[in-house]
Every structure is written in C-alpha cells, then in structure tokens.
Amino acid sequence: MKEFHSRRRVEFADTDMAGIVHFARFFVFMETAEHELLRALGAEVHFEHEGRTVGWPRVEASCRYLSPARLGDVLDVAVRVLKRGRRSMTYGFTIRCAGRRVAEGRTSTVCCVLDQPTGLEPIPIPASLAEKLGEYLATPAESAADRTPESAKL
C-alpha cells in the first residue's frame, strides 16, 4: 500500500497544561497531511469546478492516542486512502515520532460545493483527481486489516 508522508515539529501552541500535545491538534495534523497529499497530486484543497467553489468537509473523524507527543518532537504523519467513493474519501493516518506510534486516525470527507447559501452540496469527485487519488488506494484486504479507529455504526 502506497503511503504519503508529511512531517512537522510540535509547536508550543500545540501543547496543553498536561505538558503534551492537545488531543484536538492531531486532527489538524491529519487534515494538513491530507491537504499536502492533494497538493502533491496537483490538486487545490478548495478549487473551482464549473464556476463553483468545491471543498472537502469532513463527515467523520476519529483518533486513537497511543503515546504522548511533546514540544519539539518531529512527527511523521503517514496518509493512505482506505476508501474512494464516488463523492467521498476515507483516509487512514499513522502518526509516529522516531518510529514510536503516537496516534492512529481516520477521516471521511465529502466532495462538496461550498457556496450554497442553504448548506453544502455533495458532488462527484472530478474524474482526474479521483484517478490520481487511486494511486494511494489500499486493496480491500489492506483496508479491512487497517488498524485505524473505524466507526461501527455509520
């Protein structure tokens, strides 16, 4: 399974009074890694499609925390595509620090037109982007074996 890797160093503002990275920040780390993958594939995060602004709101996000990360730690965020739907994507993430597993996460996003006054309108993923994302797509067996926290009741 092909993975995309993104690196970042833990900043002071990422920490909380327990002396470790605040748990909500890991969702930002995952999102940014996903966006770097899109950028590496030549896609914008928000883009114009037939004159409308398209983006990727999340419909689900989860994270399991395995060991704490601290100020100055260099984190490796690995991204893989667990599922590519017609209008949605599911990504799996593994965050490591010097080989140690720090967190595992999963997000599901939907390709949406954002400029609807009444809300967000899902649309099919443009074909050229869908094809590029396929490069990172896990096989069904790999996806089934993936250890990231899956939601049972969606």
19-38 burial by CB neighbour count: b if 16+ within 10 A, else e? ebbeeebbbebbbebbbbbb
Q: Which is nearer to a copy of itself, 32 or 84 (CB)?
A: 32
Asked if 28 and 14 count as a contact pair (C-beta separation under 8 A), the reply is: no
Q: Smallest distance from the beta carbon of 133 to a copy of itself, in angstroms?
A: 18
For residue 4, give both structure tokens.
């995309």
- State which of residues 2, 7, 28, 140 lies at the interface with a copy of itself (CB under 8 A): 28
Choose, by CB under 8 A, the member of 1, 41, 43, 61 that binds a copy of itself: 61
Number of amino acids touching a copy of itself (CB under 8 A): 47
* Closer of 50 and 72 to a copy of itself (Cβ): 72
Instruction: Select from 4, 31, 75, 79 the one that contacts a copy of itself (CB under 8 A).
Output: 31
Q: Is 16 in the site for a copy of itself (CB under 8 A)?
A: yes
* Residue 105 host element (H or E): strand 100-110
β-bridge mates for residue 15, sequence order: 21
| Count of CB atoms situated within 10 Å of the CB of 9 | 10
- The Cα–Cα gap between 111 and 89 comes to 8
- Minimum distance of a copy of itself from residue 102's CB (angstroms): 12
Query: Which residue from 24, 74, 135, 140 is in contact with a copy of itself, where contact means CB under 8 A?
Result: 24
